[in-house]
Chain A
């Protein structure tokens, strides 16, 4: 286990190495890094390894997509926006229709004097269950996800 002073020193060394590697080191810290590299073989070895890695990553860049991607980009976003509104309207309409159908069905069921009571109860429970599950899924998709937009983001 390292003591606090050594750990703080390590952190300082790491920051010097990173800043030096990325060209973000002020002149006065550059001298400090040079002194460190000349006096600490382990730091020098790590520096050399990081420099070799940097040489590799500097030759790489992110793959560029075909130009068509940019031409069609906004069109694709626009289609998604339109479809999103379509889904909202469809869902709201479906909720109203299913609820109305369930209500009418329930009324007929209650009015039916020949059907056994346990069967009525089972059908009612099924209908209510379907409506509750449907409304719950739609509510989750449309509202809950939006309010908790950043719940998984770690800083």
Chain B
């Protein structure tokens, strides 16, 4: 999965942020192009829905543009944007009507790489993997939002503890504690298939 922009782009980010603050939409467009994937995947991990992830990640950029005057150009852009993304996602998740709608229209948001390899050669194993993926999605959906967030950042975005701690503004120890609780809960829910 695409993650950080290439090394050395932080300085350019600063320039782009300064230009965006002066009202240059093309510069902001460049920031959007750089971080749209990370914002989308972050939202997908938190909401478990392609439509919501697309909608909320785009809305986060709109809000970031409107609030650009409050951004310190010397600080990295993405952690600031991520705070907007997560707030939008958490607010959506807390809306019970949305949760009910999503349960009814649930589509896969995880991709099983092992299942994809097994699909052609072994249909029975493929069906088993599909069931496992589906149960994992439901189990992650059932996690409290803060545990889910840390789990997604670690497992699916591949961030290191230090990176997660910086992104969320919490100590590394808290990252590990939340991750432990999330995994223990997942292991309990998936107990019979592990």
Q: Which residues of A contact B (CB under 8 A)?
A: 11, 14-15, 17-19, 21-22, 24, 46, 49-50, 52-54, 56-65, 69-70, 73-74, 76-78, 80-81, 84, 146, 149-150, 152-155
Q: Which of B41, B110, B155, B173 gathers the greatest number of chain A CB atoms within 10 Å?
A: B155
Majority secondary structure of chain B interface residues (helix, strand, loop or mixed)? helix
Q: Which residues of B contact A (CB under 8 A)?
A: 1, 25, 29, 32-33, 36-37, 40-41, 44-45, 50, 54, 58-59, 61-63, 65-67, 83-84, 86-87, 90-91, 94, 108-115, 132-133, 136, 146, 154-156, 160-161, 168-170, 173, 176-177, 179-180, 183-184, 186-187, 190, 194
Provide the residues of chain B in CB contact with A149, threshold 8 Å: 63, 67, 84, 87
Provide the residues of chain B in CB contact with A19, threshold 8 Å: 161, 176
The contact of B161 among A22, A50, A52, A152, by CB within 8 Å, is A22
C-alpha spacing A73/B50, complex, angstroms: 13
The contact of B67 among A11, A14, A62, A146, by CB within 8 Å, is A146
C-alpha spacing A69/B37, complex, angstroms: 10
Q: Is B58 within 8 A of A22, CB to CB?
A: no
Q: Is A60 within 8 A of B111, CB to CB?
A: yes
Q: Which 3 A-B pairs have the closest CB atoms?
A: A59-B114, A52-B194, A14-B180
Q: Is A62 within 8 A of B194, CB to CB?
A: no
Q: How near does chain B come to A18, taking the closest CB pair, in angstroms? A: 5
Supposing A18-B179, A77-B58, A78-B25 touch, asked if A155 and B36 sit within 8 A by C-beta, the answer is no
Q: Is A11 within 8 A of B177, CB to CB?
A: yes
Q: Is A155 within 8 A of B173, CB to CB?
A: no
